[in-house]
Amino acid sequence: MNNLPLRPNVCILLFNQEKKLLLGERSRSPGVWQFPQGGVEFDRSIEGNVLREIEEELGIPADAVEIVGALKARHQYDFDPVPDYAEGIWRGQDQTFWIVRFIGKDEQINVATEHPEFTAWGWFSEPEVRQKAEQKRMSGYDKALREFVEILPSL
């Protein structure tokens, strides 16, 4: 059994005025769509990490989003295979899910960032997310999506 720790991770359910969620197509994996996400930097607050990931992966400035809050859903998993950056440091991830309202304009979204994670992006309804997102990710996304749908009327 691997006794390395899990890497803290934030996964972002960014939604627009139509209450559709943003998915991005991974730059190194054509056809693989996912929510923006990333590892937590310990010198920032958790909310600061959420904003950093949104800016780094989507080019969206902090004033174009509002953090609604964290969901109760969490997902822990072991890497398979272990990525180079995690070798000997992390065995997997402990993922928290964050609801974030996009209050900007679509023109502010620019995935051609300095270190692009995505080559394309789009807005999708919850059922469309279930069809479009990489299926291996759905075990983690499922609880978060169900919780999102429950609170959707209040958003």
Query: 11 pLDDT band (50/70/90 cuts)?
Result: very high
The residues near 153 (Cβ < 8 Å, ≥ 6 apart) are none
- State the residue range of the domain holding 109: 6-154
Would the CA dihedral through 44, 145, 155, 36 be positive or negative? positive
54-107 confidence digits (pLDDT tens)? 999 999 999 999 999 999 999 999 998 898 989 999 999 999 999 999 999 999
Is 56 part of any domain?
Answer: yes
How many structural domains compose the chain?
A: 1
Is 55 part of any domain?
Answer: yes
Is 1 part of any domain?
Answer: no
Is 130 part of any domain?
Answer: yes
Candidates 34, 9, 152, 23; CA nearest to 94 is 9
**pTM across the whole model:** 0.94
> Looking at residue 61, which CATH number applies to its domain?
3.90.79.10
Query: 113 pLDDT band (50/70/90 cuts)?
Result: confident
Q: Is 115's pLDDT higher than 90?
A: no
Q: Is 155's pLDDT higher than 70?
A: yes
Is 63 part of any domain?
Answer: yes
Higher-scoring residue by pLDDT: 139, 64 = 64
Mean pLDDT of the chain: 95
Is 78 part of any domain?
Answer: yes
